[in-house]
Amino acid sequence: MASDVLEKGGPRAHDVVPTFTVTMIVRRFDPEVDNEPRWVDYDLQMHGTDRVLDALHKIKWEIDGSLAFRRSCAHGVCGSDAMRINGRNRLACKTLLKDLDISKPIYIEALKGLPLEKDLIVDMEPFFDSFREVQPFLMSSSKPKDGKERLQSSEERARFDDTTKCILCAACTSSCPVFWTDGQYFGPAAIVNAHRFIFDSRDEGSQVRMDILNDREGVWRCRTTFNCTDACPRGIQVTQAIAEVKQAIMRGKP
């Protein structure tokens, strides 16, 4: 048998963390059938290092194929599967069941504050609209003459490193109480992406973005509740980034 040696491999975490039963309570909503969302229970046999995404797949693949959710990379870099897990915004593919309290049911629902489309899927367009509004691209009137890269020191590069990590999953924005009550607010993710350029030494458009964010629906709506920072699956210091943009606006320069 050709490569069976590689087929069964694994550090056998399954043996270390034994099989367990967990109850998932998922907030289902099918606009073609339901008038309003309903909570549905699923008792599942899960294993060792299984993630919440594995549990959702088990429901979809073995119990009810109509369960709808987004997912792609399944290891926390594409940002598809942000959802509310026990009331907190997290990526389903990055949340291990064993790290939750599996003696109690696990509640799964769609992100709050964005229009619910079906089951765990929300309309992402308002979120991306805010992102696009802050002009999230390098603005520079010139190119280096020698046809090479622009120079940037490691220190200058480090200044905005944290906010380059954003995967646009919307976990931060949809955890923000200001965003819940005022859908016009740009929200943390858009500000994070503005920060990424405002503090990039190569960029010449900081003033434009600071003017945009000095708006009534801009950074001043932030009430520093830190929900966004807690929610970020990439560990970005979101609240701090917002504070830095506020300070830059007050200074009038990055």
Partner 1 sequence: MAQSEQGELIDGVHYHKHDVVIVGAGGAGMRAAIEAGPQVSTAVISKLYPTRSHTGAAQGGMAAALANVEEDNWEWHTYDTVKGGDYLVDQDAAEILAKEAIDAVIDLENMGLPFNRTPEGRIDQRRFGGHTREHGKAPVRRACYAADRTGHMILQTLYQNCVKHGINFFNEFYVLDLLMTEVKGETRPAGVVAYELATGELHVFQGKSIIFATGGFGKIFKTTSNAHTLTGDGVGIMWRKGLPLEDMEFFQFHPTGLAGLGILLSEAARGEGAILRNSDGERFMERYAPTIKDLAPRDIVARSMATEIREGRGAGPYKDYLYLDITHLEPAVIDAKLPDITEFARTYLGVEPYTEPVPVLPTAHYAMGGIPTTNDAEVLRSNTETVPGLYAAGECACVSVHGSNRLGTNSLLDINVFGKRAGNNAAAYAKKADWVALPKDPTAGVRKLLDHVRSGDGSERIAVIRRELQEAMDRNAQVFRTDDSLREVGDLIKTLRARYRNVQVQDKGKRFNTDLLEAVELGFLLDLAEVVVYSARNRKESRGAHMREDYPKRDDENLMVHTMAYLTGDAESAVADDHIKLDWKPVVITNYPPTERKY
- Which residues between 100 and 139 bind partner 1 (CB under 8 A)? 117-119, 121, 123-125, 128-129, 131-132, 135-138
Q: For residue 21, which phi and psi values (nearest 5 degrees)? A: -105, 135
Cβ proximity to partner 1: between 77 and 102 the closer is: 77
- Within 33-52, the residues that bind partner 1 by CB under 8 A are 33, 49
Cβ proximity to partner 1: between 194 and 222 the closer is: 194
Give the one residue of 11, 18, 87, 252 binding partner 1; rule: CB under 8 A: 11
Are the CB atoms for 28 and 110 separated by under 8 Å?
A: no
Q: Dihedral sign, CA of 136, 141, 145, 147?
A: positive
Cβ proximity to partner 1: between 130 and 222 the closer is: 130
Cβ proximity to partner 1: between 60 and 105 the closer is: 60
| 204 near partner 1, judged by CB under 8 A | no
Q: How far is CA 123 from CA 12, 128, 188, 213, 235, in A?
A: 39, 10, 17, 23, 24
Separation between Cα atoms, residue 134 and residue 125, nearest integer Å? 15
Give the one residue of 24, 52, 55, 79 binding partner 1; rule: CB under 8 A: 79
Tokens describing residue 44:
């599942």
136 CB neighbour count, 10 Å cutoff: 16
Give residues with Cβ within 8 angstroms of 60, minimum separation 6: 67, 69
| 69 near partner 1, judged by CB under 8 A | yes
Q: Is 131 helix (H, G, I), strand (E, B) or coil?
A: helix
Give the one residue of 200, 222, 228, 244 binding partner 1; rule: CB under 8 A: 200
Tokens describing residue 190:
């858009």
Are the CB atoms for 27 and 110 separated by under 8 Å?
A: yes
Give the one residue of 73, 204, 220, 226 binding partner 1; rule: CB under 8 A: 73
Q: Exposed/middle/buried for 46, CB within 10 Å: 0-12, 13-18, 19+? A: buried
Give the range of 7-15, 37-45, 177-185, 222-230 binding partner 1 by CB under 8 A: 7-15
| 212 near partner 1, judged by CB under 8 A | no
String marking each residue 144-173 x if it binds partner 1 according to CB under 8 A: x--xxxxxxxx-xx--xx--xxxxx-----
| 247 near partner 1, judged by CB under 8 A | no
| 7 near partner 1, judged by CB under 8 A | yes
- Closest separation between CB of residue 226 and partner 1, Å? 21
| 183 near partner 1, judged by CB under 8 A | no
Separation between Cα atoms, residue 41 and residue 153, nearest integer Å? 54
| 68 near partner 1, judged by CB under 8 A | yes
Cβ proximity to partner 1: between 144 and 183 the closer is: 144
- Closest separation between CB of residue 67 and partner 1, Å? 8
Tokens describing residue 150:
């622009």
